[in-house]
Amino acid sequence: MPADGFALCPVRDILDRVGDKWSLLCILYLGSTDRLRFNELRHSIMGISQRMLTVTLRSLENDGLVRRTVYAEVPPRVEYCLTALGQSLLGAVIELGNWAKDHAPVIAEARQRVVAPPAATAGQV
Amino acid sequence: MPADGFALCPVRDILDRVGDKWSLLCILYLGSTDRLRFNELRHSIMGISQRMLTVTLRSLENDGLVRRTVYAEVPPRVEYCLTALGQSLLGAVIELGNWAKDHAPVIAEARQRVVAPPAATAGQV
DNA sequence: CTGAATCCTGAAAGATACTG
DNA sequence: CAGTATCTTTCAGGATTCAG
């Protein structure tokens, strides 16, 4: 692991954080409403485990993208929402999401082409 | 807005592919020029291993985002460039990259705040 | 209800060496 | 130059359990 000091480090850094399995999903869902409770979010992002939701939310909170509000009630209630910083990221995420939705079939097609290449083509690389 | 988890599946799928450690960097660098040879790219993305560059480029190629052109010369020459599909993604990636660059200091600051929380804040959680 | 703490596994990624 | 082939290590993420 080299001590790197090049210009794209911040990009790498952010993408590492935001490019994990659940962060962008959390941001997308949190961005679609005002705020969500823990289990609301957990139910929205089907497939996420309780642990990963906690870990992801902590991570986003630590980066200042998500605000966590604890209500001193019983039973406990905790609500999450995007911070201004998180909202500023939301645009790019949504754009990425739209791209993904728009081009999903094309990509699926490209992948098919890999597993099932044309058999009759001769010579051509 | 989302409500239905299935709509976000393609997003998950794309983000999984594009959200790995090197793909977006490759797209960014390939998008910044017409085309790049293997070692040019490798030199640009400092820190990437030769293996991971190969793996990443294959992955992008399989998804139809990158075109690989082999010249039957000696010594071998292979050039990579974005396809139209790849270029269509470039916009969102650049926007994400710009966001990362713009907000890197704020995020760094937020992270600092986590490791060194204010001791005197009383009352509100 | 919300979350912390452990344990565990598969996949990702790095290092290295070899090849056309 | 541009890979491929292995080997090893790391670690994200799932399951489970405990706690406030």
| Per-residue pLDDT tens over the stretch A97-118 | 889 889 989 998 998 887 765 5
pLDDT for the residue B11: 75
Note whether B73 and A27 are within 8 A (CB).
Answer: no
Cross-strand partners of A70: A78
Note whether A60 and A23 are within 8 A (CB).
Answer: yes
**Cβ of A11 and B20 within 8 Å?**
no
Q: What is the C-alpha separation between B102 and A11, in angstroms, rounded?
A: 10
Q: What's the whole-number mean pLDDT along residues A75-85?
A: 96
Chain B nearest C-alpha distance from A75 (Å): 17
**Cβ of B99 and A109 within 8 Å?**
no
Chain B nearest C-alpha distance from A105 (Å): 9
Note whether A29 and A86 are within 8 A (CB).
Answer: no
Closest to A86 measured CA to CA, from A105, A115, A62: A62
CATH topology of domain B6-115: Arc Repressor Mutant, subunit A (1.10.10)
Closest to B18 measured CA to CA, from A45, A1, A107, A86: A107
Lookup result for tokens 């985002």: B65
**Cβ of B91 and A95 within 8 Å?**
yes
pLDDT for the residue A116: 67
Lookup result for tokens 């079939």: A105
Would you write out chain B's pLDDT as a tens digit for each of its 125 residues?
A: 444 445 567 777 777 777 788 898 899 999 999 999 999 999 999 889 999 999 999 999 999 999 999 999 989 999 999 999 999 999 998 898 889 889 988 998 898 887 665 554 444 43
- CB-count burial class (<10 Å; 0-12, 13-18, 19+) for A15: buried
Instruction: Write a three-state SS string for A11-36.
Output: HHHHHHHHCCCCHHHHHHHHHHCCCE
pLDDT for the residue A123: 44
Q: What is the C-alpha separation between A45 and A78, in angstroms, rounded?
A: 17
The model carries a pTM of 0.83
Q: Can you read off the two tokens belonging to residue B86?
A: 């790849």
Q: What is the DSSP letter of B97?
A: H
List the domain boundaries for chain A: 6-115
Closest to A23 measured CA to CA, from A51, A3, A53: A53
Rounded to 10 deg, the angle between the A84-115 and B50-62 helix axes is 80
pLDDT for the residue A64: 94
- Which of A14, A79, A114 to mutate to probe the B interface, most B CBs <10 Å? A14
